[in-house]
Structure 1
Amino acid sequence: MQVVFNPIVSEPYWAGLSNDPAMIDAAQALRWRSFHPGMGEGRDYDDTDHYCAHLMIIDQRTQTLVGYTRVMVLRSDDSLAHSYSAQFYDLAPVMAQPGAALELGRFCLDANCHDPKVVKLIWAALLAISDANGVARMIGCSSFKGSDPLLHTAALTLLANGNVGTEGHRPNPRAPEIYTFAEELIGRPVDELQARRQIPPLLRSYLQMNGWVSDHAVVDHALDTIHVFTNVELAGVQPARLHGLRQLAARGQGAAPAGVALEGA
């Protein structure tokens, strides 16, 4: 798919879209290490990869991939045929809202990279992609490790009591096995400390940008996870946060590191 985006350099890192076969392979290896820990070497891939643009964060000192997410711009119901989220959620209410959606997937970082600049650069790049492609919201699935919803009661209680999207905007159920946590846990006391520990880092980032979640979680026994649909309306993100990310993205375009082919090149 064609996504408009000019690469960003924030030394020592480069952020850009790449269709370079070697980089796609490196990304799928990074995804495997991130989502299948302890299972040796492998590649994480699915059919959705063919329809996405691949955002790479490369450490230019070592020419290694340190951050990744795949993205897809959804503009109408027709574009949902290849959407990952649409396999599990009925997105009709989401797509009925004005503006396009940017679907994020397989967001991951190299386990040996602990520089907070990498995460900030990914969000700056995602905002730049959104601005350049008429995107009004970022969407995706946020996963919890462990397919038993009771393992995540504290986090789901927190979500149920303040972070569920409004009816008419949030997606409807589609998956065969779901847990309607908003119905089950609304009004229950929240263990804030335990909830914060249970919420995955990506979901925490969404919530910090005033994001909301679905009223139900999808149970995925194959991956031993549950996940919730997540939506961030760009118009609802704190202006200071948007300004900082746009400033970072505007600091300059950067050529691709040696040997890396840009998306569409």
Structure 2
Amino acid sequence: MSLLSKGRYEVRFANCEADVQAAQCLRALAFRDAPSDLDVDAYDARCLHMLVEEVDSRALVCCFRLLPLDSGRAIEQSYSAQHYELSSLANYEGAMVEMGRFCVHPDHSDPDILRVAWGALTSYIDEAGVEMLFGCSSFKGTSEEDYLDSFSLLKDRHLAPKRWLPRVKAPSIFPFARKLQLRAPDLKAAMKEMPPLLRTYLMMGGWVSDHAVVDRDLNTLHVFTGLEIGAIPPARKKLLRAVAG
């Protein structure tokens, strides 16, 4: 069943094992540069998998997974809790959903893919009554030197409110809020280096942890990212719902 069809793309939930394996194959290509493998973990069986397909070819161009949680009391069940100490969010009363393994096929760079994916996600969030979206937003590679302006901008403008701030749990991190205290970001360079998914979170009022986790398994640096749905600017909500509609 289609969740959203716009232009060249259609979004739907995976509805069989073959659909899930197609997503796992794209994830292996995007995160591990291993097109003949599958990226699989224990969270897949508990998640909803969203697929963005090209209408004419039925090629899978984007995928991500969603883990719904009734409230923050279930936060330890999330993938993010492997990497971040999230007890500060345990008292969050509203419904939450974790978005993970978001990736776009490396051969497809059409910005409409991201736009349609967020439109479908908006529909899901509205229907499910979700109040907070969260997950890990990844920078490719594990060298923080490649992204110092981006991390400096995150430090200056986008740190989580103190009441929700994740604490350190992972053994290998880059504590950018502390390390880059005196660095002023080059805004143009910062936005150029910023991953598209994280850039979208930030435009909607999202916030991040004060440190990045070094994930050598997926060859990424990632930050915990949270977005309170009620805090999204009205104009941005209108645009998302226009796509969703």
Deviation at 1:89, TM superposition (A): 1.0
Q: Report the Cα distance in structure 1 between the residues aligned to 2:117 and 2:182, rounded to whole angstroms.
A: 36
CA deviation map 1:35-67 (0-9, x unaligned): 122x45211111111110001112221122122
Equivalent pairs: percent with the same residue? 37
Letter of the 2:66 counterpart: V
The partner residue of 1:215 within 193, 196, 210 is 210
Q: Report the Cα distance in structure 1 between the residues aligned to 2:172 and 2:30, rounded to whole angstroms.
A: 25
Letter of the 2:149 counterpart: A
Q: Gaps (5+ residues) in structure 1? A: 251-265
Match of 1:22 in 2: 18
Deviation at 1:105, TM superposition (A): 0.7
Q: Which moved more, 1:147-156 or 1:73-82?
A: 73-82
Check conservation: 1:48, 1:82, Cα contact below 8 A: no
Task: Please identify runs of 4+ aligned residues in structure 1 that moved more than 6 A.
Answer: none
Using a 3 Å threshold, how does the CA distance of structure 1 residues 98 and 76 change in structure 2: closer, same or farther? closer
Letter of the 2:161 counterpart: T
CA deviation map 1:142-188 (0-9, x unaligned): 11222233332221111111111121112122212222211221242
The partner residue of 2:115 within 97, 117, 120 is 120
* RMSD over equivalenced CA pairs, Å: 1.9
How many aligned positions are there?
245
Q: Report the Cα distance in structure 1 between the residues aligned to 2:140 and 2:113, rounded to whole angstroms.
A: 23
Q: Report the Cα distance in structure 1 between the residues aligned to 2:218 and 2:108, rounded to whole angstroms.
A: 25
Q: Report the Cα distance in structure 2 between the residues aligned to 1:95 and 1:6, rounded to whole angstroms.
A: 34
The partner residue of 2:32 within 36, 39, 47 is 36
Structure 1 or 2, whichever has the larger Rg, is: 1
Q: Gaps (5+ residues) in structure 2? A: none
1:188-207 equivalence runs, <5 A:
188-207=183-202
Using a 3 Å threshold, how does the CA distance of structure 1 residues 97 and 199 change in structure 2: closer, same or farther? same
Using a 3 Å threshold, how does the CA distance of structure 1 residues 32 and 168 change in structure 2: closer, same or farther? same
Deviation at 1:237, TM superposition (A): 1.4
Check conservation: 1:51, 1:82, Cα contact below 8 A: no
The structure whose RCO (Cα within 8 Å, separation 6+) is larger is 1
Q: Does 2:243 correspond to 1:248?
A: yes
Q: Report the Cα distance in structure 2 between the residues aligned to 1:46 and 1:135, rounded to whole angstroms.
A: 25
Instruction: Please give the TM-score of this superposition, normalised by the length of structure 2.
Output: 0.92
Q: Which moved more, 1:128-137 or 1:184-193?
A: 184-193
Check conservation: 1:155, 1:198, Cα contact below 8 A: yes
Check conservation: 2:72, 2:89, Cα contact below 8 A: no
Check conservation: 1:144, 1:227, Cα contact below 8 A: yes
Check conservation: 1:161, 1:187, Cα contact below 8 A: no
Match of 2:82 in 1: 87
